[in-house]
Amino acid sequence: MTQASDDEIMDLLRSVVPMASKGFFLALHVRRATPSRTLSTMDVAWRAEYDAQSYGVMDPRCIWGMSHTGTIRWSDINIQDTGKVFAAGLPYGQIYGCLSSVGLRSSRSLMSFSRSDREFAMAEMDLIGRVTARIHEMTDMTGLLTPLMIEVLKLGEEGMRYSEMAVRLGISEKGVKARVAAARRNLDARTLAEAVRKARLWHLID
């Protein structure tokens, strides 16, 4: 089991990207307020302002998406915009949009689409919802690491050599190397250190 690449995700998005004339933002498997991956075609200046002003913590779209599942037009989100996030996006063409939210609350994926000319049609929203669900499924990290892989990564983070890990875990040094290689492959990491960093970033190890 390996993670889908950005290219594979973009291939799946080809059917819906033309609907988002003002860009989209995809946050995958949000855990503890941190997504495992993000993809965006939003205006760079808007993204910079959004991040600089920390709009994410007060954005009605984020609040709705983390407390509901389904696909909804921005205009139908009945949450007070105390931070005036919607107003801030208007100069960047963020006028109409829809949000799709899928998955368990402990690992939720959100995709927001925007355009400046009209509301999204129900058929378009249905397709966006199905595409979001498919991307969520193909990037699901459940089972990405076995318990023994996790232990090997933790010990590697402590600076243990393979021989020391083998003694601690009661397996052969060859077995340790095999699990390191599998963890690196599944996490698309070139080194053990990178595998540990990604596993912590995605909350796969405590």
Mean pLDDT of 185-204: 88
Of 11-25, 66-80, 188-202, give the lowest mean pLDDT range. 188-202
| % of the chain residues with pLDDT over 70 | 99
Architecture of domain 147-201: Orthogonal Bundle (1.10)
Listed by start position, the domains of the chain span 6-138, 147-201
Alpha carbon distance 168, 188 (integer Å): 26
Average pLDDT of the chain, as a whole number: 92
Contact 126, 71 (CB under 8 A): yes
Architecture of domain 6-138: 2-Layer Sandwich (3.30)
Has residue 203 got a pLDDT over 70? yes
Q: What residues have CB less than 8 Å from 90, skipping those under 6 apart?
A: none
Residue 2's pLDDT band (boundaries 50, 70, 90)?
A: low
Q: For residue 167, give both structure tokens.
A: 């003694």
Has residue 1 got a pLDDT over 60? no
Amino acid, res. 147: P
